[in-house]
Structure 1
Amino acid sequence: MTDTASVWGRDDVSSGKGASDENFPVGSLLLSKALRPHVHAYYDYARVIDDIADCETLSADEKIARLDAMEDVLLGKRDPIPRADAMSAAKLRASFLKTGVPFETATDLLIAFRDDSRGTPCTSWDDLLHYCRYSANPVGRFLLHLHGEVPHTFAAADALCTSLQILNHLQDCQGDLQRLHRCYMPTDLMAQAGATQDDLLAGRATPNLRRVFNTLLDGVDALNREASALPGLVRDRRFRMECAAIVSLAHRLTQRLRREDPLAGRVALKRTDIMYAAGAALRAWS
């Protein structure tokens, strides 16, 4: 058996990201006060495993060993040691046992982060959707289960989460390649457009790379249309408002990425976008 200390290694893998760095609200005031601690437990766990996969000082094998250890703690196969990353898995385990939310909503995330750790390439739109199935869609399903929503909400939620993940990839395409040597732009789309990964390192998008961005945004538009049905399917009023706001923000960010260049500077939501989202939330109250 692997020595516990050697598996966990250093406690210095944090990326420094937090809820304030996200495009979309994490455990916002729209959610029930009683459920917010469970949402934060899930977010803390997700942040830790994301940081492990993104750590620039761990080898691929070290990352996967650490992710495996997190899964063992989550599933009760390993006792946690008293440090933040292990305890986040233990805290989420306690949340799942209390709420009945399926453990798969957390273990599925590990599939994507193991792929990131290995440097698994994204060769096609289908590869990108597969990655989002595990890196993003479990988040929506966690929230749906937590609110007691029914399975017919899953497809629209999956579309929304996949949309948000691809939008994030577009926002961060340059940084992902520079810092993590990771590219989520499908290689077949890049080749068809005559673009290369070197184009992502420029100060502005070339026409060829812009074609790749627009093709991905066409796919996001289709996902956003499917996601637009989600608020009408959700029964919990407060969560319905949250969903309506996030759907609105996804549409607004998609429009911004159509008009703005993510290589020239981070394309971010503005105050006007937040106002539109607030209006969408209010309309979903009834």
Structure 2
Amino acid sequence: MISRVVKSHIYDMSIWGEQDVSSGKAAKDENFPVGSLLISRRLRPHVQAYYDFARVVDDIADSETLSAEEKIKRLDGMEAVLCENVPAPDRPDVLSARYLRNSFLETGISFDTATDLLIAFRQDAKKKRYNTLDELMYYCRYSANPVGHFLLDLHQEKPDTRPASDALCTSLQILNHLQDCKTDLIKLDRCYIPLDMMHAQGVQVNDLLAEQTSHGLRNVFDRLLDHVDALNREAMYLPRLTVNRRLRLEAAVIVYLAYSLTKRLRMGDPLATKVKLTKFDVIASALKAFRHFM
């Protein structure tokens, strides 16, 4: 539970600042949006509540104006509102924690699916570099995998779906890091590409600022994508294990989209341009996924 020290910070409303730091992004702006039409209408409000909270705390961690200390205070504040229902400003960013609290109390889903995200985002506030793939995987355990746990628990799926879900969520997170590797360094001085992989190829972090990817850095990207390929193969078990038909189809679509984005990052240069999915990728993935709907 939240400590008395943290609570004393929350009651001091000045920690919230005068404005929220929300980015204004919506689910449609993401590579792999949650809460699509494939999710049951009855469950969509809970998915939206989770997404709104995750969006807010992610924006806090990625703020270009808040200091590391201010970010952590705000993240602690969001946790206190979520877990303890402490007083806080009636503002959309803060209210997202209150709405998610109500959702969790209604559905019985573990608060860990949200507080685990906060572990990753507190780390984002302070940690700028990742030395090894193991460090990156540990980060993904908290920054990405809880999203899958939430959706599986919301649909009352069995625990045997979690390993494949974790593989998929981690794959998506690493793909996102590769897409945004240059932007993350420019805006936040943050690099998720493992340093040992870079040093093995004779490249440095600042090489991510180049106009195009060097041969050595291309080797680093490809090695990371080899790891993503393995995760994607494990993720293919998720649609087969998922009982709920709507969630099964959603999972299948996202797995095929992960494969598509992996291929595009193999062929494209994330330093030269934004490598992203196309409408054709989305349509093709949806068509492939329908075989899992039966």
Distance of 2:28 and 2:274 partners within structure 1: 15
Q: Which runs of 5+ in 2 are unaligned?
A: 1-7
Q: Does 1:177 align with 2:185?
A: yes
Q: What letter matches 1:128 in structure 2?
A: L
Gaps of at least 5 residues in structure 1 are none
Contact 1:193/1:211 (<8 A) preserved: yes
3-state DSSP of counterpart to 2:170: helix
Q: For 1:166, which of 167, 174, 191 is the aligned residue?
A: 174
Structure 2 Cα separation of the partners of residues 238 and 17 of structure 1: 25
Write the letter of the residue equivalent to 1:265.
Answer: T
**Residue aligning to 1:52:** 60
User: Matches of 2:41 and 2:65 in 1, distance apart?
Assistant: 38
Deviates further, 191-200 or 106-115: 191-200
Deviates more, 1:35-44 or 1:73-82: 73-82
Could you tell me how far 1:285 is from its partner in structure 2? 1.0
Q: CA-to-partner distance for each residue in 1:149-196, whole Å, 9 max, x for gaps? A: 010000000000000000000000000000011000001111001111
Q: Distance in 2 between matches of 1:142 and 1:204?
A: 38
Following superposition, the deviation at residue 120 of structure 1 comes to: 4.6
219-228 vs 1-10, which moves further: 1-10
Specify which of 4, 10, 25 is matched with residue 18 of structure 2. 10
Sequence identity of aligned pairs in percent? 59
Structure 1 Cα separation of the partners of residues 70 and 83 of structure 2:
20
Contact 1:231 1:284 in 2 (8 A): yes
Shift of 1:52: 0.4
Q: Kindly indicate whether residue 73 of structure 2 is the aligned counterpart of residue 65 of structure 1.
A: yes
- The one of 107, 118, 134 aligned to 1:110: 118
Q: Does the CA-based 8 Å contact 1:147-1:236 persist in structure 2?
A: yes
TM-score by length of 2: 0.95
Aligned to 2:289: 281
* TM, length-normalised to structure 1: 0.98
Write the letter of the residue equivalent to 2:247: F
Partners of 1:203 and 1:264 within 8 A in 2: yes
Q: Please state how far the C-alpha of 1:119 moved relative to its aligned partner.
A: 2.4
Q: 2:20 touches 2:93 (CA, 8 Å); kept in 1?
A: no
1:134 match: 142
Cα contact 1:80–1:90 (8 A) shared by 2: no
Contact 1:241–1:280, Cα closer than 8 Å, also in 2: no
Partner of 1:35: 43
C-alpha displacement of 1:13: 1.3
Taking the aligned partners of 1:189 and 1:240, their CA distance within structure 2 comes to 35
Runs of 4+ in 1 over 4 A off after TM superposition: none
- Alignment-derived partner of residue 94 in structure 1: 102
